[in-house]
Amino acid sequence: MPSHLPPGAQVLPDADAVARAAADHLVAVCAEAPGDRIAVCLSGGSTPKRLYELLAGPDYVDRLPWARLHWFFGDDRVVPWDDARSNVRMVREAFGHGAPVPETHLHFIPSDLGPERGAEAYARALLDFYGADRLDPARPLFDLVLLGLGEDGHTASLFPGKPALAEREALAVAVPEAGLAPFVPRITLTHPALASARWSLFLVTGAGKREVLRRLRAGEDLPAGHVTSLGRLVWLVDEAAAGA
């Protein structure tokens, strides 16, 4: 394995193989999840979109307990849900008509309330779903968190040098100024919220990610490097990103 990759990273042939490996992880997570509800935190991006299309397709749609699955969002832009820049729209289009998702199981970030009010409302919604006023390290909020990696080292909408990185209490915060285009306000889950997971998967594809992986392995202070998980943290990396 190339020395610049995170410890234990799995190198796969291409972006499609990364998406399939993530789908297999979700199937396994569902099989071992306790209780009657399974909470999944979704990521934006092209590779996650391919994953969501796979889940709704013939290879996986009958392997998932859709009635138990609840879908949350790690971040979103403060735009209408039908805007082309919205993660809500991307997920809806990727699932299409193939995924039997109850509408009440898609927990959208309320971007229509604006950055600050939307973040507060989403944090409340997460705790209402969780059933407590604060997170318990012994009981993760999410069964699975899906994460991407930006070329600047950001994940979700946690950008280098932005105030959201310092948040240790709130589960969701406003990001008034994004770290890259499109420069519209965002709402993001915080590091404590993302860490409250049984499984966390980074999906990293493309040659453009090779340098940021090297920077992370070298110990550079980047947002993605501060992601932790109460359970297992796994990196799925394609050969282009790995330089294999």
Topology of the domain covering 37-209+219-241:
Rossmann fold (3.40.50)
Token representation of residue 64: 């998932």
Bridge partners for 202 per DSSP: 147, 235
Q: Which of 73, 30, 29 has the alpha carbon at shortest distance from 48?
A: 73
- Whether the full predicted model's pTM is greater than 0.85, yes or no, is yes
Tens of pLDDT, residues 111-165: 999 999 999 999 999 999 999 999 999 999 999 999 999 999 999 999 999 999 9
Which phi-psi region, left, alpha or beta, contains residue 140 (left: φ > 0; alpha: ψ -120 to 50)?
beta
Question: Percent of the chain having pLDDT more than 90?
Answer: 92
Question: Percent of the chain having pLDDT more than 70?
Answer: 99
Tens of pLDDT, residues 67-82: 999 999 999 999 999 9
Residue 244 to residue 101: CA distance in whole angstroms: 38
